[in-house]
Homo-oligomer: A and B are copies of this chain.
Amino acid sequence: MMKGKELPVAFVTFKSRHGAALVSQTQQHSHPLIWITEMAPEPRDVSWRSLEIPFRILPLCKIGAVVAASLLTIFFAVPVTAVQGIAKLEKLKKWFPPAMAMELIPGLSSIVTGYLPSAILKGFIYVVPFAMLGMAKLGGSISKSREEIKACNMVFYFLVGNVFFLSLISGSLLDELGEYFTHPRSIPSHLASAVSAQADFFVTYILTDGLSGFSLEILQPGLLVWDAVKSRTAGRGDEENPYLYSLPYFRIIPSVSLSILIGMVYAVVAPLMLPFLVGYFYLGYVVYVNQIEDVYETAYDTCGQYWPYVHHYIFIGIILMQITMIGLFGLKSKPSASIATIPLLLLTIMFNEYCKIRFLPTFRHYSVKDAVEHDEQDRNFGEMEINCENARIAYCQPTLQPPNFMASKSTSSQPLVS
């Protein structure tokens, strides 16, 4: 019975970093799916729930998470359009008779009908990252940081698809959408004309997202409300989730990356947007430096694992900008300039491939030279045995740790007999 409860996962501690670095990068068995080794995440970062998933089901979990996120991204427009359709004033009066009172105050009805669709859209867009994080948690990653990175990716592609592209093609008939897939050559010119038409929308998007987003970030109304609710319902003292007060990467990184993408695409099409964007970035820098240093707690430390993904988002922005430029030159009847931009596109793709060869392996692997150097430093300072011992006892499942009654402040969890 106990054997059935055993998990085919183990944390292996080595006597030196050198041995750990060598083992984590090599194939141990001629059957590549047996004895798989990788560097363990931080002890506080381990996703114990995901370690229980049998290895055969793991690819299905990964594919399932990606498929669910793709379905959410593709079919997101359906409920939003439905709700926005209801939000028109006539239908609103039919469904909510008290809304007729709005007509009494002059101008209020126009304000409400003007802002209500975008407010509904923003509400939906606010909820989606949490749904994506839930899907990523079911995706079977071994550490919580990787789950959040996956959620960050999903949210970014969701925003690019539903905020950027959907706004570009809004208003087009569905037939035109079918034309995009059947005539791939016309995509740059369609993109360029749509981009030029939607410049005002994106300027307002940057302004509202910047100002309202940053003010909400500083005020933190969500967490204040949640904390007030929690303190009223007492007795849940020591089950604190450290992720509640940690920086929500999966919400911040995609929205800032989307603003970078919008800025790059519009840098040449509608340059008047750039001062607004620069102001957005300055304000965001000030706000987030304050938040990261003084407000949020650090739940885990990935040592820079988000950077390859941010680099990838910027690369996508550059590629979209170049495709838009190719289309724009075609629209302005300058085909020579259009053709001259294609080598630029190829050079950008080749540069990205070079970056992947030159920089990405170091994010994935712990190089042997660094491991040997750190071992030398440890031996010089005599810290080798202490580090070994700390590594050996660090990975202990939270449920198997002895309860710490002294740290609890709640009266209902103190032992009856001390």
Contacts and interface: CB of A to CB of B under 8 A. Distances in A.
Contacts of A31: 358, 362
Contacts of A358: 31-33
Nearest to A373: B30
Contact of A184 (B182, B357, B370): B182
A49 interface: no
Contact of A368 (B28, B181, B362): B28
Interface in A175-198: 181-185
A39 interface: no
A232 interface: no
A365 B26 contact: yes
Contact of A357 (B25, B29, B32, B370): B32
Contacts of A370: 30
A369 interface: yes
A359 to B, nearest CB: 8
A367 B33 contact: no
Interface string A349-368: 00000000111111001011
Interface string A155-190: 000000000000000000000000001111100000
A27 interface: yes
Contacts of A35: 369
A19 to B, nearest CB: 10
A362 B30 contact: yes
Contact of A30 (B184, B357, B367): B367
Contacts of A367: 26-30, 32
Contacts of A30: 362, 367, 369-370
A350 B208 CA distance: 44
A308 B29 CA distance: 19
Given A182-B183, A184-B182, A26 B22 contact: yes
18 contacts: A21-B26, A25-B26, A26-B365, A26-B367, A28-B368, A28-B369, A29-B368, A30-B362, A31-B358, A32-B357, A32-B358, A32-B359, A32-B361, A32-B362, A33-B357, A33-B358, A182-B184, A182-B185
